[in-house]
């Protein structure tokens, strides 16, 4: 019996944890060792960040230890990655250790980079300039909202792509609902600021979401490319010199992939790994893949994409390491709940080629979810997903949803 081949996965977030747990069941232990690397032993349910500022979730519901989530037979290394030497097939860690690999998967995600926009990290950071894309930021924003008595509340996207592109809209809708419940809505001007020409990236969904913003008297400031945040004057300043004042700003900073991706010569200008969008194989490599938010595939950086893509990847990986062609193709399937307040949500289901459409999901006529329309069932589905995430998705158990998008139940555009 020879030495087992080595699979190393960089990142133990949603995609990385699913990959190692799924492949550990499928790759013989005598033939493959599996190691996953992450900087700490903390795993957050990141969709829960949206609910922390409004007190819907507690911190304990969002955060768990990482190590118990990784199956037996998978090595968990807690360390910072310095860079990858693709010639030597080694991962260099900041503490000086080196991990050799036969196959490498980069699943290191994406993180907010407030330092990329002038004026963001001033004295009011996590105070009058808030964010909910980190655990600490969401909790700080919760404290700010508890003291909010009215004024101009501005929700702002710096630039795309961002993790979960509907989340800023969801925050805006939930803020509207939250303010109404507290009798503060008439004393608050809500403004949604985006670099897009409308509410969302997909035109059909953008029209629907734009109507909901209008119905709730939420002003949309489109095509706004921010140059800097002037904390002294409490204004956003765009490159075309427009200014938007705020009393409380909730900004979504620039998102970027991991720094080691750039240091390894594997990334684009935002540190995302260019890959084949159907197989996730890194451009120019036959032993490096990138999944989840770490890749540059042209669809949403969202947990559902990680879920569907991991299913396709694991089938392909087994074929790939056996020397066979990869026969499975990811179609860009994304499935996103959009909280719209008042105990309701919308559901978007789309892929590389098909925009979100109206209809029912997952079953024709029966649903129970409504596509591109508000419903209580959609909201309950979003809340229920947290339990599925911890207990089914991460362990690698099947959820019964096909990775490929189905047109069943969808109405033609």
pLDDT in tens, 125-180: 999 999 999 999 999 999 999 999 999 999 999 999 999 999 999 999 999 999 99
Residue-level pLDDT at 356: 92
Residue 1 has pLDDT above 60, yes or no: no
Residue-level pLDDT at 398: 83
- Taking residues 9-36, what's their average pLDDT? 98
Q: Return the bridge partners of 112, or none.
A: 255
Residue 370 has pLDDT above 60, yes or no: yes
Query: For residue 245, what are the CA distances in angstroms to 155, 234, 344?
Result: 11, 6, 30
Q: Which of 141, 110, 121, 79 is nearest to 15 (CA)?
A: 110
- Taking residues 72-76, what's their average pLDDT? 97
Mean model confidence pLDDT for the chain: 96
What percent of the chain clears pLDDT 90, i.e. is strictly above it? 94
Residue-level pLDDT at 343: 96
- Per-residue burial over 345-366, b if 16 or more Cβ lie within 10 Å, else e, is bbbbbbbeebbbbebbbbeeee
Residue-level pLDDT at 202: 77
- Per-residue burial over 87-103, b if 16 or more Cβ lie within 10 Å, else e, is eebbbbbeeeeebebeb
Residue-level pLDDT at 366: 86
> Are 38 and 135 within 8 A, CB to CB?
no
The CB density around residue 43, as the number of other CB atoms within 10 Å, is 23
Residue-level pLDDT at 63: 98
**CATH numbers and ranges of domains, the chain:** 5-109+258-321 (3.50.50.60), 114-255 (3.50.50.60), 334-393 (no CATH)
Residue-level pLDDT at 204: 79
Residue-level pLDDT at 189: 98
Residue 87 has pLDDT above 90, yes or no: yes
User: Distance (Å, rounded) from C-alpha 188 to C-alpha 191?
Assistant: 10
Residue 56 has pLDDT above 70, yes or no: yes
Residue-level pLDDT at 200: 80
Q: What is the pTM of this model?
A: 0.96
Residue 413 has pLDDT above 80, yes or no: no
Q: For 169-197, what is each residue's pLDDT tens digit?
A: 999 999 999 999 999 999 999 999 999 99
Contact partners, residue 274, CB within 8 Å, separation at least 6: 267, 268, 282, 283, 295, 296
Residue 161, preceding peptide bond in cis (omega within 30° of 0)? yes
């Amino acid at each position: 019996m020879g030495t087992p081949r080595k699979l190393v996965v960089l990142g133990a977030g949603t995609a990385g944890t699913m990959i190692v747990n799924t492949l550990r069941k499928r790759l013989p232990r005598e033939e493959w060792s599996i190691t996953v690397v992450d900087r700490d032993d903390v795993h957050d349910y990141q969709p829960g960040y949206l609910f922390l500022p409004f007190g819907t979730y507690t911190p304990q519901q969002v955060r768990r230890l990482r190590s118990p989530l990784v199956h037996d037979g998978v090595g968990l290394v807690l360390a910072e990655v310095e860079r990858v030497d693709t010639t030597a097939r080694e991962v260099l860690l900041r503490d000086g250790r080196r991990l050799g690999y036969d196959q490498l998967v980069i699943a290191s995600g994406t993180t907010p980079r407030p330092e990329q926009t002038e004026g963001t990290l001033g004295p009011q950071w996590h105070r009058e300039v808030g964010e909910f894309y980190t655990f600490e930021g969401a909790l700080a924003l919760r404290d700010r909202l508890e003291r909010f008595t009215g004024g101009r509340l501005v929700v702002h996207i710096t630039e795309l792509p961002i993790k979960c592109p509907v989340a800023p809209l969801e925050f805006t809708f939930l803020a509207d609902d939250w303010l109404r419940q507290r009798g503060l809505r008439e004393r608050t001007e809500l403004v949604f600021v985006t670099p897009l020409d409308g509410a969302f990236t997909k035109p059909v969904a953008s029209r629907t979401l734009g109507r909901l913003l209008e119905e709730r008297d939420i002003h949309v400031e489109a095509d706004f490319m921010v140059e800097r945040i002037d904390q002294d004057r409490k204004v956003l300043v765009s490159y075309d010199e427009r200014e938007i004042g705020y009393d409380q700003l909730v900004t979504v900073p620039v998102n970027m992939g991991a720094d080691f991706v750039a240091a390894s010569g594997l990334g684009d200008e935002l540190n995302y790994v260019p890959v084949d969008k159907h197989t996730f194989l890194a451009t120019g490599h036959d032993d490096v893949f990138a999944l989840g938010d770490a890749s540059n595939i042209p669809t949403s950086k969202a947990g559902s994409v990680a879920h569907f893509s991991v299913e396709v990847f694991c089938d392909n990986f087994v074929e790939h390491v056996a020397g066979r062609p990869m026969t499975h193709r990811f179609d860009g399937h994304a499935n996103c709940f959009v909280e719209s307040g008042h105990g309701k949500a919308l559901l978007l289901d789309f892929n590389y080629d098909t925009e979100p459409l109206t209809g029912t999901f997952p079953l024709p006529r029966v649903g129970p979810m409504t596509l591109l329309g508000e419903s209580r069932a959609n909201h309950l589905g979003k809340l229920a997903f947290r339990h599925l995430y911890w207990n089914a998705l991460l362990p690698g158990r099947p959820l019964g949803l096909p990775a490929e998008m189905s047109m069943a139940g969808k109405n033609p555009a």
